[in-house]
Structure 1
Amino acid sequence: MKHDVIIIGGSYSGMAAALQLLRARRRVLIIDGGKRRNRSASHSHGFLGSDGVDPAELARVARAQLEAYPTLTWVDGAVEQATGTMDDFTVTSGSTTYAAKRLLLAIGVSDRLPEIPGLPERWGRSIFHCPYCHGYELDRGRVGVIATGPVSIHQAQLLPEWGDTTFFLNGTFEPDRVAEDELIRRGVTIETTPIKHIDGSADVVLTDGRRLRFAGLFTAPYNEPSTPIATQLGCELVETLTGVQIGTGETKETTVPGVFACGDAARMPHSVSLAVGDGAWAGAQIHRSLVWPAS
């Protein structure tokens, strides 16, 4: 059977796209590897109507709602290969090959974190990337920002809204005078001593022996699509402030006709709310492309 659309990735953006297509009675196949980016987080914030809900519960409820539609097929598994052209795509997962008229890449991103001992195991628990998602719960406590490069200046300037902020340069770069003056104007403390490791909940231990305690830490990891499927298909990747993403136009179609992309892998900044909105728009645009192929 040829599906109307195969969605690679069944997290928030992929499911939001699927909902639009299923409600148009289109045959949709979701293939999902089961690794949500926020799987380490216990609560999701900033999503209207579900603020503070466990993100795993958000995903569970959403999947259950999709599975009520008879034209959905869901496969748990990784996609190893995707090939083809408009109206004739094939996707391989395990030993099975599936066919579709359109593809949607909702594959999410991988986070390349700063190489600091103690940081990876706290990612999503006491070390975050989005203050809108996690800043309020720090209750105006002390906040640390770990630099990954000049882009981190913006993050450090923003964080004082949520608490007294210390900006750890950690040997990554030196801000120019204009940036330094702006950080000082915002009340940010600039710390030049390198970080030795992260301890406790969010304690920063410096190479000079000092231990600085924080309610939470933030950093801007390098992002890239979580699988090479987009490159395999020939989709253009574009540079962002924090890595690379899949290039798309206003309709969320990539540079390969018939292949669309949405969510964190195809837009920035990143959050559950933005991923859902992006997915819903992509789903509607894919449906339009099936109705009016030349549009």
Structure 2
Amino acid sequence: MEHFETIVIGGGSAGLAAAIALGRSRRTVLVIDEGQPRNEAAQHAHNVLGNEGINPLELLSRGRQEAISYGVQIIEGAVDRLTGSLDTGFRVTASGQSFSAGRIVLATGLVDDLPAIPGLDRAWGDTAAHCAYCHGWEVRDQEILVLGLGPMSTHQAMMFSQLSPNITFINHNPSALNDENRATLAALGIPVIEQSVQEIEFDAQGDLDSVKLADGRNVSAQALVVASKMNAQASLYLSLGGQLAEHPLGTFIQVDDMGATALPGVYAAGNASNLGAMVMAAAASGTIAGAAINADLLGKQLAKVQAQA
């Protein structure tokens, strides 16, 4: 069984950044990646300093080549099993292969759980978005419908109102809109339609056209704003005995400032531990986790040498 000082599970921005930090410190590193990045549906990544508007898949391709240049090994596949501990060592099984490691980085990302509205999956990542910083400039001055789904929706309406005067709030989930939220929307001059959305409709060219409401009306739209339920992909963490932290927007793996989880030897980075992390923030958390692991390994090596002296 091949042994690595660190195995990184997940090859997105966070996982690759962790691997590069470790590779540059001459650590043996394996990255196991399923090849299903969260932002795959998007054509462009924004707020990426020096690479503004880059295609997300191109960014990851560059990151993989950088990691490989520092001796990092990368394999494609899903991790079937993760067992062990810091004391006994970790064992990872993926696509019929088994590997051992002294440290683990979980950069497994999150899943956007969307409401079951026909057509929404088709628009997601393109004309249906959740983040004003990620996609707001691209829909400036357009007709934007904010789907009222939960506690984040009013905040989204406020954020997008900075980018377009044409905002309408569709109160899809009435129980989520309290008096304070209504007062905010009124102060912003954003009209509220008290109807649920039955379907997202597209024109003959395949572009977003409108939403169909429960009363049969169609409301035209060029862009939708949707608050997904964001849940960390954390089955491997749970299998080790870890527990997830709750957030109004979903669930995540709680870490300290250096990316360490409650399980010794296990680190988490990117959206698995920070639901709101954009590309650069995710990468930064990976770099921090990689540096922390290297420092930890150095400390263990020094202690061993001193014990033998």
Q: For this structure pair, what is the TM-score category when the shorter chain's length is used for normalisation?
A: over 0.9
Matched, 1:255 2:257: no
- Of residues 265, 271, 278 in structure 2, which corresponds to 1:271? 278
TM-score of the aligned structures, taking structure 1 as reference length: 0.95
Instruction: Kindly state the Cα deviation for residue 284 of structure 1 after the two structures are TM-superposed.
Output: 1.1
Matched, 1:121 2:122: yes
- Cα distance in 1 for partners of 2:277, 2:258 equals 19
Asked if the contact 2:149–2:176 (Cα under 8 Å) also holds between the matched residues in 1, the reply is: no
Matched, 1:100 2:101: yes
Consecutive aligned runs of 4 or more in structure 1 exceeding 4 Å deviation: none
Matched, 1:75 2:75: yes
Matched, 1:22 2:23: yes
Matched, 1:186 2:188: yes
SS at match of 1:150: coil
Unpaired segments ≥5 residues, structure 2: 304-309
- Of all paired residues, the percent bearing the same amino acid is 34
Q: Comparing 128-137 with 184-193, which one deviates more in the overlay?
A: 184-193
1:246–1:227: structure 2 CA closer, same or farther, 3 Å change rule? closer
Instruction: Kindly state the Cα deviation for residue 232 of structure 1 after the two structures are TM-superposed.
Output: 0.6
SS at match of 1:53: coil
Return the index of the structure with the highest Cα Rg: 2
Which residue in 2 is equivalent to 1:288? 295
SS at match of 1:67: helix
Count of aligned residue pairs for this structure pair = 294
Q: Comparing 106-115 with 150-159, which one deviates more in the overlay?
A: 150-159
Matched, 1:205 2:212: yes
**CA offsets per residue over residues 97-126 of structure 1, 9 Å max, x none?**
100110000001111101111001111011
SS at match of 1:269: coil
- Letter paired with 1:83: T
- Of residues 166, 169, 172 in structure 2, which corresponds to 1:167? 169
- Cα distance in 1 for partners of 2:296, 2:168 equals 49
1:280–1:208: structure 2 CA closer, same or farther, 3 Å change rule? same
1:161–1:288: structure 2 CA closer, same or farther, 3 Å change rule? same
Matched, 1:91 2:98: no
- Letter paired with 1:232: S
**CA offsets per residue over residues 74-109 of structure 1, 9 Å max, x none?**
111000110111161110102111001100000011
1:34–1:172: structure 2 CA closer, same or farther, 3 Å change rule? farther
Q: CA RMSD of the aligned region, Å?
A: 1.6
Asked if the contact 2:6–2:102 (Cα under 8 Å) also holds between the matched residues in 1, the reply is: yes
- Whichever structure has more helix as a proportion of its residues is 2
